[in-house]
Structure 1
């Protein structure tokens, strides 16, 4: 096998497990759609995950859900306690001001992973999102704003890896990155947007705006404001919420370094 080429079957297995973990309870067809894996392949992967005990079938329905064994996949992971500690009071206060939920996410592999959120603090949400929920990096506003603010070498490496996994690469987005300098535009304006988010527990019903947060001059993650797609037009949402979202991002960046230093002691 050529060096650097991913094992496609393993990548698809991970995608299926992530889809079940995100969805909480999915039918086989929903698993195939959410993971972008062909139905017959998704069926074989689900049977393997059942055998390994990572997922289980519900007793009275042909739906599948993760088991507690998936937590073993996180053993050894050090987490982002410093970032959560620095961001938490700010995203809580922002939610109290605007009423829409805010998420804090960081980059892991080909995904952005939620580290904290305020969905439980507002009624303006369809679902709660707990730490560990992941979204493909090119399919979310937080991922785009994170990529836009990485170093050129880091960004090139991630994009090259993503191109070997076509199931995770939206063609339109990649074309805008390559031909329309999308990431340069995002970096210049200081935020990214995503309409009708697909990789959520309620696909297509929410849109989002994200801004970066930094640690010692390097991008450390992003905070995202989500709103009902049917309630507000994107340009109106940007006009109304971007200033306070950017203020919150700056406040977290200011507080982040001392919190991380304290957490390391």
Structure 2
């Protein structure tokens, strides 16, 4: 094993596929940089993915994009469509009220993935974060609040994932959990902060505050985040101004999830 990764070739292949899926259409040099693999390795992996039909080259440009075949990789995955359906109206209302963009985020492996956001609704943003955009779980407010409120078994699974990939972000995650002070504080306060986000589209320009999201059975399903300009306010001011509204929105989303679940159960009983 190289650097603790059981099969390095598979790890690199997945990184290349993720880079093309996230940033494509993308050049070969861009793939190598985004996936953090040597250029010759990126070339061989791209050829393999083309052979398998998962990616294709654009006819007029030397850029690569995923094909519809990648959708087959998600067969059997229960997505968060219900969360988006329950949350969309609430995050739109919150965005109109506070002005700042709001994101619904869930965990995918060792990263947090945007499921829905209101970035396009407001001018108070540098970038529009589309569904599918991911951030390292320990380097964003939504990830920190998720780590604090998830159960020990799930947290241990995340740690094992960090140990397998050995990146700067994963090492920071392991350092974060080496002392449970921060997680205990987040649980006590009910929210998490990330000052000067580094791993987003505008490094160092924004900060964020997040609260946990629970379903009707009190299971942790994700997090709700508010993103603001670093220059606009301090983290203490952000918490004072927006924590109550975020928590109220999280409760409203939970209520909508309960209503949706009840409606689905009623439809099923009627069908019987």
TM-score normalized by the length of structure 1: 0.83
Aligned to 1:221: 222
Residue correspondence of structure 1 range 1-265 to structure 2 within 5 A:
6-58=6-58, 62-167=62-167, 169-179=169-179, 181-215=181-215, 216-263=217-264, 265=268
Cα offsets for 1:195-220 (capped at 9, x unmatched): 34344344444332211011222211
Secondary structure of 2:167 counterpart: helix
- In the aligned structure 1, how far is the partner of 2:27 from the partner of 2:206? 22
Cα offsets for 1:197-244 (capped at 9, x unmatched): 344344444332211011222211111112234444434333332221
Quick check: 1:18–1:134 contact (8 Å CA) kept in 2?
no
TM-score normalized by the length of structure 2: 0.81
* Residue 30 (structure 1) shift: 4.1
Cα offsets for 1:91-132 (capped at 9, x unmatched): 110010112211112223233222222122222233333333
- In the aligned structure 2, how far is the partner of 1:255 from the partner of 1:29? 45
- In the aligned structure 1, how far is the partner of 2:19 from the partner of 2:163? 20
Kindly tell me: are residues 18 and 248 of structure 1, through their superposed partners in 2, closer, same or farther at Cα, counting changes over 3 Å? same
Mark the structure with the bigger radius of gyration. 2
Give unpaired runs (5+ residues) of structure 2.
none
Quick check: 1:83–1:259 contact (8 Å CA) kept in 2?
no
Secondary structure of 1:209 counterpart: strand
- In the aligned structure 1, how far is the partner of 2:247 from the partner of 2:42? 41
Kindly tell me: are residues 207 and 48 of structure 1, through their superposed partners in 2, closer, same or farther at Cα, counting changes over 3 Å? farther
| RMSD of aligned Cα (Å) | 2.9
- In the aligned structure 2, how far is the partner of 1:39 from the partner of 1:190? 45
Quick check: 1:100–1:125 contact (8 Å CA) kept in 2?
yes
Give unpaired runs (5+ residues) of structure 1.
none
Quick check: 1:162–1:168 contact (8 Å CA) kept in 2?
no
Kindly tell me: are residues 60 and 81 of structure 1, through their superposed partners in 2, closer, same or farther at Cα, counting changes over 3 Å? closer
* Residue 259 (structure 1) shift: 1.9
Which 10-residue stretch deviates more, 26-35 or 237-246?
Answer: 26-35
Quick check: 1:34–1:199 contact (8 Å CA) kept in 2?
no
- In the aligned structure 2, how far is the partner of 1:17 from the partner of 1:172? 24
- In the aligned structure 1, how far is the partner of 2:228 from the partner of 2:80? 25
* Residue 140 (structure 1) shift: 2.5
Tell me the matched-pair count: 263
Secondary structure of 1:221 counterpart: strand
